[in-house]
Amino acid sequence: MKKITTKAKKKTGALVSEHGRVYITATFNNTLVTVTNDKGDTLGWSSSGAKGFKGTRKSTPYAASVAVEEVVKKIVAQGLKSVDVFVKGPGSGRDSSLRGIKNAGPVITSIADVTPIPHNGPRSKKKRRV
């Protein structure tokens, strides 16, 4: 029998530019944060759950700000100076996550709400007859 060895591919690190994007998804149960460069390559991510919060504490504004600050500070140390922020979802971590970005250091150039809103949506259920 021949032994087959495969070489592990080395991960190519995404380049940190001076300007980036921060995507915040604030759900009712968690807050997810992704930091990307101009091209959209992920530089770092975090969530309230990844920071050790469990259960109902995960959905608090404090948990959201902790998650955002931690990941943004790490990327700022690599050279990020300004960010565009895209917020999605109805969760309680929306406002506090913006404060967390501001505390972490980069200049916020724009804030956009990209919450999906249905333009009429699917057909509704038939009317209930009693």
- DSSP β-bridge partners for residue 93: none
Find the domain containing 101 and state its range: 19-113
CB 116 within 8 A of CB 88: yes
Q: How far apart are CA 57 and CA 51, in angstroms?
A: 11
Q: What is the predicted pLDDT for the residue at 130?
A: 86
14 lies in some domain: no
User: And the tokens for 105?
Assistant: 């250091």
pTM here is 0.82
72 lies in some domain: yes
Q: Which of these ranges, 8-17, 19-28, 73-82, has the smallest mean pLDDT?
A: 8-17
Q: What is the predicted pLDDT for the residue at 11?
A: 61
86 lies in some domain: yes
48 lies in some domain: yes
9 lies in some domain: no
The yes-or-no verdict on residue 21 having pLDDT over 90 is yes
Where residue 98 falls among pLDDT bands split at 50, 70, 90? very high
Sign of CA dihedral 32, 68, 47, 21: positive
37 lies in some domain: yes
5 lies in some domain: no
Q: How many domains does one find in the chain?
A: 1
The yes-or-no verdict on residue 69 having pLDDT over 90 is yes
The CATH number of whichever domain residue 81 belongs to comes to 3.30.420.80
Give the mean pLDDT of 67-92.
Answer: 93
118 lies in some domain: no
Q: What is the predicted pLDDT for the residue at 56?
A: 92
